[in-house]
Chains A and B, each alone.
Chain A
Amino acid sequence: MDYYDSKDLKRFSEVGKFSEELMKKFFDYYNAVTGEDGALTKREKSLIALAVAHAKKCPYCIDAYTTQCLETGADPEQMTEAVHVAASMEAGITLMHGIQMHNTLQKNGAL
């Protein structure tokens, strides 16, 4: 069996096979959040989604939101910066856990 086949993205709605109503509720919510301009433009939302796609390491979402960013007028510089935001957040989150390590070191009398 193949994993992460790009063609599978088109089959997303099949996830609703055994629970059509819940899937419809999801798509309505998803489209309302990402598919329209609101307080954020559709381009800004696409850049956020691209960053999240990288942080969550979802190849389907990276494919979809790279195209979506282009089709909403973002350019590769902006898209790369969005990926750096995701990467720096992940690095910061990892490093921030160093305080937890310090707390434990202190509790053990090693700090």
Chain B
Amino acid sequence: MAQLTVLKENYECYNRENDDRYDFHDALRNNRIDLTPTDIETLQINITKLCNQTCVHCHVDSSPKRTEQMALPTVERCLEVLSSHDNIKNLDITGGAPELNPHFDYLVKSARKLDKHVMVRHNLTVTIDGHPVTGESKTYLPEFYASQGVEVISSLPYYLKYFTDKQRGKGVFEKSIESILMLNEAGYGNDDTGLELNFVYNPVGAFLPAPQETLEVDFKRELSKKYGIVFNKLFTITNMPINRFKDQLKRLGAYEEYMEKLVNAFNPTAAEGVMCRSLISVSHDGSIYDCDFNQMMDLQINIKHSPSTVFDFDYKELTQRRILFGSHCFGCTAGAGSSCGGSTAYGNNPTS
């Protein structure tokens, strides 16, 4: 009965967020694309919705007021899944600001002991701001990351203050620069150290990202010239028309125009590379989803008519599942494509 209730709630949420006017299944059929899972290479886990920032585009609706945290037994179970599946090579830790989960350091150290590649979605400012509730300092983070050999992936919407602060809040740009310099000091962004520092660009409003390769050149030139900053790669990500960003689009009267832009920019090559084919997303309570966006829309994966969790993780069944698509998926297939690793159709963007 409880399972039926969850399924019903999922269906109702899907209906609330999905927009039938923009049919992703139709786009796949018209382009003769069948998107099935390939392998599970990455376990992406969202360990908290708590964040020191409140960004206007955030699909997680994170803020200092959120309280959701992954508990230790769920963290341990994620580590067991990693330990028992050699195919899963990457752990991608996100939030909120994941560093605000009390078990964060333990999770990182344990995953590294399992020889997994660990990526952290680090918002930069948490190093400066500290814990928004307890006031605990987080200035140890750059050295901690370096000691663990973590790949740091950080949002930096632009190399200028204006766009960055508009999207992420007043003062964020200056704190981000200070935090990046600390990461550089710890060896990040320098090719010789092997400590990888990658930035994420996403547009400040209702438009598609510029080509990743040209923006990366601009970011490297400007950040080096003005601040002496070095980094490895820039990932461009399209804003997803869900939750807070969708509300913003509707307030601006730009939702339909944005959706039409995404639909018109559908790129079959980008579609083939969508991240949900090789990734599983875990929420703070252990539920599992096709991606972080489906997680935020409560579109939980169902295996044999039951909502799937990390506690009944079945690799084979998961690689044979049907991925749940909705109108928001046009965000990942527009233009050069979009994923947590940036463009999925690098150099193959029919709209650029």
Chain A positions near chain B (C-beta within 8 angstroms): 41-43, 67, 70-73, 75-77
Contact = CB atoms under 8 A, between A and B. Distances in A.
Given A41-B214, A70-B203, A75 B208 contact: no
A65 B203 CA distance: 16
A77 B160 contact: yes
A70 B214 contact: no
Contacts, number: 31
Nearest to B209: A71
Q: Which 9 A-B pairs have the closest CB atoms?
A: A73-B210, A70-B207, A73-B215, A71-B208, A71-B207, A72-B210, A67-B207, A73-B214, A71-B210
B162 A75 contact: yes
Nearest to B158: A75
Interface of B: 158, 160, 162-163, 203, 205, 207-211, 214-215, 218, 352
B207 A76 contact: no
Nearest to B222: A75
B15 to A, nearest CB: 29
28 contacts: A41-B214, A42-B352, A43-B214, A67-B207, A70-B203, A70-B205, A70-B207, A70-B210, A71-B203, A71-B207, A71-B208, A71-B209, A71-B210, A72-B210, A72-B211, A72-B214, A72-B352, A73-B211, A73-B214, A73-B215, A73-B218, A75-B158, A75-B160, A75-B162, A75-B163, A76-B162, A76-B163, A77-B160
A76 B158 CA distance: 12
Contacts of A70: 203, 205, 207, 210
Contacts of B158: 75
